[in-house]
A and B are shown apart, each in its own frame.
Chain A
Amino acid sequence: MELKVSDLAVSRGGLVVLEGLDFALAPGQALVLRGPNGIGKTTLLRTLAGLQPAVAGAISAPPESLAYASHSDGLKAALDVTENLQFWASVHGLDAAAVGAALDAMNLRALARRPAANLSAGQKRRLGLARLLVTGRPVWLLDEPTVSLDTASVALFAAVVRGHLAAGGLAVLASHIDLGLPEAAVLDLGPFRPLRAREAHPPAGGFDEAFA
């Protein structure tokens, strides 16, 4: 179980945004991606998740090992909290016990029967993150997981991530705020921008925006 990335280049809308990425994660390790908006954190995570092809380089991870949590939580407003989790649990072949554990871990037990439409933004986010627990997958790819979470929920989620790592899991996070994971390695994506882009300094709101 290892996530290994070698000489990876990723592109968004036909433009290479990051290249020459090399890193490896062993079980229990986490990597935090840093960089300004638009540098390609989401693109990198989507490429790692297999949603888009890499321009160059290789990603080696065991098959069916990646769980991706995007900006949007993939919730159905008409279903309640438990039904949402149950759906993803059965898609991933897990049972009701996993759903119960995920509800407890993200402090959603009191909301278990509430329709997702009536949740606050932070509660939706907590439900979206609880989904990771019912995938049963070892490698978590997290895109801004703490958006709209309050400090208590951030601490709760940090504990969940720490528990996941302690159980031999891996995590790659794109996050601006400190999740309180001192053991996590930090990767600044700035130096991996293609040489041309670094020299050219495209004007703000320039070409990239058209493909956002």
Chain B
Amino acid sequence: MIALLVRDLRLAVRAGGGFGLGLAFFLLVAVLVPLGVGPEGGTLGRIAPGILWVGALLACLLSLDRLFALDFEDGSLDLLATAPLPLEGAVAAKALAHWLVTGLPLALLSPVLGILLNLPAAGYLWLVVSLLVGTPALSVIGAFGAAVTVGLKRGGLLLSLLVLPLYVPTLIFGAEVVKRGATGAEFATPLALLAAITAGAAALLPFAAAAALRINLR
């Protein structure tokens, strides 16, 4: 599993690997939204948690269709399926690699973009915390969607349609944590629910994704 994780990370940072794609998209959203909404600070600060979470979610979605499609096209998915590594483990390793190159950098970069969106200062910590807790769920749910659509040419559209409804709870609770954190309200409940979604997805979906891959490889 570690070998697969290292390979995926290495591929992501090499030329054409797509590292930075999600990050650049996230940056663009955060830069363009203030220009579109206008400089009025009150509005911007109020919508900032939602915008940042939507931006992070779409940035994650951007690189998902490559997760298994590249391995499927060059035949390494066949070979991984016959390797001693269980396919569930391979899915988990690939989802983790996806999170490490998209979710984690997004979470770490988000306070800087919070400034651009005039997020109240009290919200920065909870923005990072909510993204750190919530984005692993985005990667794992996305890995499941990618596994279901792996055999399709240009499956990106179907993947988005499949995955977006599953992303909604994460988005709602994630943005809620930031909103409540920024206004000093009680935020333990949405944070706990966000963590529960991540834990549940990480525990169950690798099995579902591996089953979908086995069917798609036939």
Taking Cβ atoms with an 8 Å cutoff, the residues of A that contact B are: 46, 49-53, 64, 66-68, 70-79, 83, 87-88, 90-93, 131, 135
Contact = CB atoms under 8 A, between A and B. Distances in A.
B84 interface: yes
B161 interface: no
B88 interface: no
A88 B7 CA distance: 10
A148 B81 CA distance: 25
Contacts of B204: none
Interface stretch (B10-18, B47-55, B106-114, B151-159): B10-18
A52 B217 contact: yes
A70 B83 contact: no
Contact of B78 (A68, A79, A88, A90): A68
Interface in B60-86: 73-76, 78-85
B84 A92 contact: yes
A78 B66 CA distance: 15
A49 B85 contact: no
A49 B81 CA distance: 9
A51 B218 contact: yes
Given A72-B74, A74-B74, A91-B4, A49 B82 contact: yes
A135 B85 CA distance: 12
Given A70-B75, A83-B10, A87-B3, 14 more contacts: A49-B82, A51-B81, A52-B218, A53-B218, A67-B82, A72-B75, A77-B74, A78-B10, A78-B17, A79-B10, A79-B11, A90-B2, A91-B3, A92-B83
A87 B218 contact: no
Contacts of A90: 2-3
B82 A51 contact: yes
Nearest to A90: B3
Contacts of B16: 78
Nearest to A89: B3
Nearest to A73: B75
Contacts of A74: 74-76, 78-79
B217 A51 contact: yes
A20 B7 CA distance: 42
B15 A70 contact: no
Contacts of A76: 7, 11, 74, 76
A50 B82 contact: yes
Given A52-B217, A52-B218, A78-B17, A71 B75 contact: yes
